[in-house]
Structure 1
Amino acid sequence: MASMGKLFAPLVLLNPKHKPCYPVWVASRNTISVINNCFKKKKIVQEKLEPLWDDGYGTQTAKDFLEAAKDMIMPDNGPPRWLCPIECGSPIKNSPVLLFLPGIDGLGMGLIVHHKALGKVFEVQCMHIPIDDRTPFEGLVKFVSEKVRSEHALFPNRPIYLVGESFGGCLALSVAAFNPTIDLVVILANPATSFSRSQLQPMFPFMEACPKELHKFLPHIFGLSLGNPIKMANVNVHSPFSPAKKLENLFHDVKVLVEGATLLADLLPKETLSWKFKLLKSGAAHANSHLHAVKSEVLVLASCMDCMLPSAAEAGRLLDSLENCKVRYFYDNGHALLVEDGINLLSVIKGTSKYRRSKTHDFVSDFIPPSKSEFKGLSTELLGIFRLATSPAMFSTLETGKIVRGLSGIPDQGPVLLVGNHMFFGAEIGGLVEEYLREKKIVLHGAAHPEIFAENIEAPLQVISGFDMFRVFGAVPVTARNFYKLLLNKCHVVLYPGGVREALHRKGEKYKLFWPEEPEFVRMALKFGAKIVPFGVVGEDDIQEQFLDYNDVINIPIIKEMIKTRNNVTAKVMTRTHMTGEVGNQDFFIPGIYPKIPGRFYFLLGKPIETKGREELLKNREACKELYLQIQSEITRNMEYLLKKREEDPYRHLFERTIYRALLAPVDQIPAFDP
């Protein structure tokens, strides 16, 4: 019974009514106690997550999958069932259910890398198919459908998530087709709907006809086609070890994973392997014949280096075949996508706006703060070289009027509204959001142009993009409704009244404001008593020079037609559709620029303007306009201050900053001028 106790250490078995259960062969009283105690822990409910919460990414890897598999491959003569991994912990309040449907292995542990993160915002349950089970595909569809209907009856207003890996993708699509009235969000990782076009198709007859004596060699071939062992082992190199220790762990994990291929011989004995191929074939045929009936939201995650299935091409086919489908590519990953490095499943769900707790997605109420690993990715991957090149220097203003380095002048308690100038292409926003999280551990929500969230801005098939990361780090479409909700929830918000016209300004318009006549945001700030922080930022002239602007490209007939056509389908900021003049010109276009040796970005956040207790201004149109002009004047003054003071910065130029960073300090600690 020792191995049984080990089996249940990471798992709780559930019946359809959410009560703990266990196979008939579990007789140890201690094991049953572990199950019940673990289940009680699942009942602890958190209200919300704080920014930079620990998502556990990298603490479990494909090596842990192999360890779990060793304890789960024993035959038990039982039917398919649902497992609840203990690593998932306790989800936040009103979390939706996530049902994981496994690949050909049937173990149900394919999400092991993501258990801790997903368990914070989902009720995670994983389907387990014992190795000696022979339930046909239609029976598995019925089994999952019954679970879906049971969960829907319990929480009819919440979505149900189906995450299908490989074979599980076929199962998820078939279940969605047979339950069109239930709100399902279907996430497919390299779905096996392309099984008939598999690269291994010529080998399948040989695998089935292979004598038992030679069967032990087949798992090595089959295992190597599942994924890249380097990518699998690379998941935990993000842990806080020394470089030497990380390298040692990497080599050890690769060795374990390569040796672990022999485990497939136990997991998939000859009779089971033959059955699995038949199941895959029938599942792919069943799912493909019912694609027309799938009405659910579908997100396809496709690996370009999949050696088992033509997943990249299949993603395009599913995009054309399904009504409501998105695709994200992963260029360097193999078939076993969910246990490889380079994908944080929760980040993907958040970044594609798929996470919701009700019938529709709400950018404010459904927002999940960024985790530690996501923040690290922002600093090292998304901003990366650009952050190193521009080395943002942040200054803020205390209540006394004193200017200090850092953000200590910014109030911790919201609502707080930062209002400032846009640099070219909004290049400053990433550094501001990052520093806010680093120093204050507060999410700064960017009120962004609705076009960033529009479907037509995405390539039909794309990798996880910067636009996805905007959503992960709190950007919302700039609408009156979202603005109202953010201030109501006492959030910190950054707003650019100049919009696209200011972000895509013309030659000779650096650091010039293009604001509308009416005070669009002042009344809302007064209504909620928000503190308004006017800020200025300079530095764009140190990184690029514009040689073709809107006035130039609009005179080229072909390009002019392309710009007009593109902007006719562009999402608009509704409050500006009626405006005339320059501020009403919100056309998107690609200017001609050439880069310079990077200079430095400088931010000055002014003294907070208190609006609490000044509600009488709401009835005074002239007083609102006066406050509006005061904010505009403060921003201009801040920019002028920075343009003058940056001349005193000994580390303004890239060479000096690079030397200082290499020898003495990280990017965020490089000195600047004395304020």
Structure 2
Amino acid sequence: MASVIGCRIPPTVGLNSQNRPQNCRWRVHCLGGGDSAAVLSSDMASSSSSVLNVNGASAVGKRETLIDHGNGRLKPGEVEEKRGQNVKDNDVLEKLEPFWDDGYGTETVKDYFDAVQDMIKPDGGPPRWFTPIACGRPLKDSPILLFLPGMDGTGMGLILHHKALGKFFEVRCLHIPVHDRTPFEGLVKFIEETVRLEHASNPNKPIYLVGDSFGGCLSLAVAARNPTIDLVLILVNPATSFGRSQLQPFFPILEAMPDVLHATVPYLLSYVMEPALAVCGFPESCDPTKMALVDVESKLPPLQRLEKMSQNLTALLPYLSSLADIIPRGTLLWRLKLLKSAAASANSRLHAVKAEVLVLASGKDNMVPSRDEADRLNKSLKNCTVRHFKDNGHTFLLEDGISLMTIIKGTSKYRRSRRHDFVSDFLPPSRKEFEYAFEEMIGLLRTACGGVSFSTLEDGKIVKGLSGVPNKGPVLLVGYHNIMGFELYPLVDEYLREKNIVLRGVAHPQLFTSASQSSSPEFSMADWFRIFGALPVTASNLFKLLSSKSHVLLYPGGAREALHYKGEAYKLFWPDQPEFVRMAARFGATIVPFGAVGEDDILELVLDYNDLQKIPVLNDYIREVNRGAIRVRDESKGEVASENLFIPGLLPKVPGRFYFMFGKPIETKGKENILKDRENANKLYLQVKSEVEHCLAYLLKKREEDPYRNVIDRTVYKALHGPSQEVPTFEP
């Protein structure tokens, strides 16, 4: 072991029942490897003179320390003893339920500055890895994630995301000490050694490299040197465009600036380093309001949100004085040269990068042209996905917005093996994701068209709510697809709220292809579909879902039904063959037919496919799109195979209400003969189709009896009885 970096323990910090400092923020790891070995530093929120030895013992007792013994990985026993979690085994965490706590919004930029106060003190040590305590214990068989920081080098740039990432990754963060002068090639070799050790231990698992700005250059360099290792790169505003930075004229001024002035202009520092607060001076490099909004509840009234944000901004001002300590003048000049070298090196080897790459680019990044650079990398790299975030600045990971884990899930980048599996790699939505999607993004639609559901019990009685739908899977919900799938939002929402169940909707594969994205893709509704369980409709995916006892949402009418023409509302377009009945019977799944009514109450179809084909230029564009589109069914299967993809012309109406009717569950358990007998399969198929049509007819008739079908009547009711009061409907 080359060296050991101590852990300072403040005299005022006591130990809890596990003999652990209560304010400890991270753990220490050690990598074996002779003279090239590095020690992963563990530190405290404040300082002291107590120092750990290699075994993790100190003058005050056993520390929160994880030491590996030569292979760069943590021993399960040590993890169990030291992580301070009340978890007996991994099986508990494997049963992750919807609405789990991702911790997003509980940490802020102030916590970042508190965390780095001791990390920036000189210790004479080399670059090293550490794992934040907040990351907790990951799921079984989770891949490793290596965070490569920006110019600050502290490694704490993921502080807003530690808890969420720590559930699904073994997180390690690179710390580059303030006075370290390791050249770019040395840092690349250090990271590369860790990558190769991990790959040797787990050759079938991917290794994630999250590179923030300068860290993006490091990630690309490592990937170029290791094309045979399965790497997933997540590049956040990568500094590969440093040569085109808007700040190039400013750098010579920094070189000529005396030390005394450097200590008095943290505002200038905030303009050139990632985790900075540009609340004064040069606010363009990052968005201070986005930082101040991290822990501000979106449900608060506008005036209270503004007041809370103002308080947060005021609280951040005292931290400006510490910026010059985090990156003093000598370090700043060195790292600017390092950044120039890093950008040149990474750009020269882009052709050698074979890794899977996700580029996250901010629209308000005035340090480097991240938006243009993302598009350049997308064209230069062989396997690259891009997401733009127009309202964020260069300090994307420290600003209010969307959790990094949410982005990874939404872009289908999370996997535990060589290929992403939509079933085994699916992670249920967190509480924060649910609130963001259903209250902030589509809150208006949810309020205006609030759905109401009815279900059928085993004795045939119709009741309000979902009690007639089985809680235990496998369950196959088969129904009618409203235009553009607008019924999905209240349907998924209600299932999560009432039954705590994620509906796994099988959707058209075109939604999951890169060809369906625009040239400047934002994090869009298609990404949120993935987060809430959508996956491509294939026989293998349906097989996996039913075998895992999921609740599956299936629309046999597919795109033809969701993109129907004028006069075709509530008409089924199902194929002639019983495509799903045999699969359900194979797993003994319960089939629940259902109808959804409401599209004609919220929208008017003014331009269908036939109308659009009469418009010059537009008709050529539609034909070109469909020429390269994925076909789910061939032309021999009737009208349902006519899956012309297009965006219909729609006009909004004064909203009515969505209604759902779930028919009596149909058991297939014990009906395995359906697998062999085509006639029996067809009978069951026609029974399901007839039940769906019956549910639609029932709702179309009964909704006329709803005194609160109109949004105005529902709004008045809530105003009189309170916003949390459920609005009545017709009696079943």
Q: TM-score, normalised by structure 1?
A: 0.96
Alpha-carbon distance change, 205 to 32 in structure 1, aligned in 2, over 3 angstroms = farther
Equivalent residue in structure 2 for 1:495, among 545, 554, 559: 554
CA contact (8 A) 1:237 1:250 kept: yes
Question: Tell me, what secondary structure is at the counterpart of 1:162?
Answer: strand
Which of 21, 40, 59 is the equivalent residue of 2:81? 40
In structure 2, C-alpha distance between the alignment counterparts of 1:113 and 1:86, rounded to whole Å: 13
* Partner in structure 2 of residue 420 of structure 1: 479
Q: 1 CA distance for matches of 2:464 and 2:373?
A: 52
2:120 maps to 1:73: yes
The answer to whether the 8 Å contact 2:422/2:535 transfers is yes
Match of 1:630 among 683, 687, 690: 687
Q: CA RMSD in A?
A: 2.2
The one-character-per-residue Cα deviations of 1:386-430 (angstroms, maximum 9, x if unpaired) are 111211111111122222221111111000000000101111112
SS at match of 1:134: coil
Q: Distance in 1 between matches of 2:393 and 2:61?
A: 37
Name 1:211's counterpart in structure 2: 258
* Distance of 2:205 and 2:490 partners within structure 1: 36
435-444 or 26-35: which moved more?
26-35
Cα distance between partner residues in 1 of 2:151 and 2:720: 51
The alpha carbon displacement at 1:290 in A equals: 1.1
1:527/1:341 Cα in 2 relative to 1: closer, same or farther (>3 Å)? same
The structure showing larger relative contact order (alpha-carbon pairs under 8 Å, at least 6 residues apart) is 1
**SS state at 1:98 partner:** strand
Q: Residue 25 of structure 2 corresponds to which residue in structure 1? A: 10
Q: Deviations over 1:123-155 (max 9, x none)?
A: 000000010100001000000000100110110
Partner residue in 2 for 1:99: 146
Residue identity over aligned pairs, in percent, reads 57
Q: Contact conserved, 2:9 with 2:51, CA < 8 A, in 1?
A: no
Match in the other structure for 1:652: 709
Aligned-partner Cα distance in 1 for 2:149–2:23: 19
Q: Secondary structure at the match of 1:594?
A: strand
**Alignment partner of 1:484 is 2:543:** yes
2:42 is the counterpart of 1:26: no
- 1:251 offset after TM fit, Å? 3.0
- Counterpart residue type for residue 655 of structure 1: I
Assess if the C-alpha contact under 8 Å between 1:229 and 1:258 holds in 2: no
For the structure 1 residues 610 and 51, does the alpha-carbon distance in structure 2 shift closer, same or farther, using more than 3 Å as the test? same
Q: Indicate how the Cα distance of structure 1 residues 170 and 586 shifts in structure 2: closer, same or farther if over 3 A, else same.
A: same
Give me the whole-angstrom Cα distance separating, in 2, the residues matched to 1:39 and 1:201. Answer: 49
**Cα distance in 1 for residues equivalent to 2:645 and 2:155:** 46
Partner SS for 1:446? strand
Note if contact 2:41-2:128 (Cα within 8 Å) is conserved in structure 1. Answer: no
Distance of 1:8 and 1:191 partners within structure 2: 33
Amino acid corresponding to residue 619 of structure 2 in structure 1? K
Q: Which of 566, 570, 574 is equivalent to 1:511?
A: 570
Q: Deviations over 1:261-291 (max 9, x none)?
A: 2211111111111111111111111111111
Q: Distance in 2 between matches of 1:509 and 1:242?
A: 43
Residue 242 of structure 1 and its aligned partner are, at CA, apart by 9.0
> C-alpha separation between the residues in 2 aligned to 1:493 and 1:344?
27
Q: 8 Å contact 1:164–1:186 — kept in the other structure?
A: yes
2:295 aligned counterpart, secondary structure: helix
Equivalent residue for 2:639? Answer: 582
Give the structure 2 partner of residue 595 of structure 1.
Answer: 652
Structure 1 residue aligned with 2:322: 263
Q: Do the aligned partners of residues 538 and 48 (structure 1) sit closer, same or farther apart at CA in structure 2, a change above 3 Å counting?
A: same
Q: Give the CA deviation at 1:548.
A: 2.2
Question: Deviation at 1:35?
Answer: 2.5
> 1 CA distance for matches of 2:662 and 2:506?
18
Q: Quote the residue 2:214 is aligned against.
A: 167
1:87/1:600 CA distance change after superposition, 3 Å: same
How far has the Cα of 1:477 moved from its partner?
A: 0.5
Residue deviations 1:222-247 (CA, integer Å, cap 9, x gap) = 32154222211211113898988766
What is the one-letter code of the residue matched to 1:593?
Answer: L
In the alignment, the residues of structure 1 paired with residue 41 and residue 337 of structure 2 have an alpha-carbon distance, to the nearest angstrom, of: 29
The change in CA–CA distance for 1:525 and 1:88 in structure 2 (over 3 A counts) is same
3-state SS, counterpart of residue 288 of structure 1 = helix
Q: Aligned pair 1:56/2:56, yes or no?
A: no
SS at match of 2:94: coil
Task: State the Cα deviation string for residues 94-133 of structure 1 (Å, max 9, x = none).
Answer: 1000000001010000000000000000000000001010
C-alpha deviation, 1:594, in angstroms? 2.0
Distance of aligned partners of 1:260 and 1:39 in 2 relative to their CA distance in 1, 3 Å threshold: farther
Deviations 1:496-525 (A, max 9, x none): 000111111111111000001111000001
Is residue 251 of structure 1 aligned with residue 310 of structure 2?
A: yes
386, 407, 430: which one aligns with 2:445? 386
1:223-622 maps to which residues of 2 (within 5 A)? Answer: 223=270, 224=278, 225=283, 226-238=285-297, 249-556=308-615, 558-573=617-632, 576-622=633-679
Alpha-carbon distance between aligned partners in 2 of 1:15 and 1:379, rounded to the nearest angstrom: 44
Query: 1: CA distance between counterparts of 2:720 and 2:161?
Result: 37
Say which is worse superposed, 507-516 or 617-626, in terms of deviation: 617-626
Q: Distance in 2 between matches of 1:559 and 1:397?
A: 45
Residues 402, 19 of structure 1: CA spacing in aligned structure 2 closer, same or farther, 3 A cutoff?
A: farther
Pairwise CA distance, 1:256: 2.7
Q: In the alignment, is the contact (CA less than 8 A) between 1:454 and 1:571 conserved in 2?
A: no
Q: 1:602 to 1:167 in 2, by over 3 A?
A: same
> For 1:34, what is the secondary structure of its paired residue?
coil
TM-score by length of 2: 0.88
Using the TM superposition, give the Cα deviation of residue 647 of structure 1 relative to its aligned residue in structure 2, in angstroms.
1.1
In the TM superposition, what is the alpha-carbon distance from 1:666 to its structure 2 partner?
4.5
Secondary structure at the counterpart of residue 669 of structure 1: coil
Counterpart amino acid of residue 625 in structure 1: N
Once the two structures are overlaid, the 10-residue window that deviates more, 543-552 or 452-461, is 543-552
Secondary structure of the structure 2 residue equivalent to 1:534? strand
Contact 1:527 1:615 in 2 (8 A): yes
1:80-229 matches, cutoff 5 A: 80-223=127-270, 224=278, 225=283, 226-229=285-288
**Corresponding residue for residue 640 of structure 1:** 697
1:7–1:68: 8 Å Cα contact kept in structure 2?
A: no
What is the one-letter code of the residue matched to 1:619?
Answer: K
Amino acid of the residue matched to residue 363 of structure 1?
A: F
Structure 1: tracts of 5 or more residues without a match: none
- Structure 1 residue 22, shift from structure 2 partner: 5.0
Measure the CA separation in 1 of the matches of 2:177 and 2:331: 10
Give the match's secondary structure for 1:238.
coil
Q: Which moved more, 1:247-256 or 1:308-317?
A: 247-256
Give the number of aligned pairs: 673
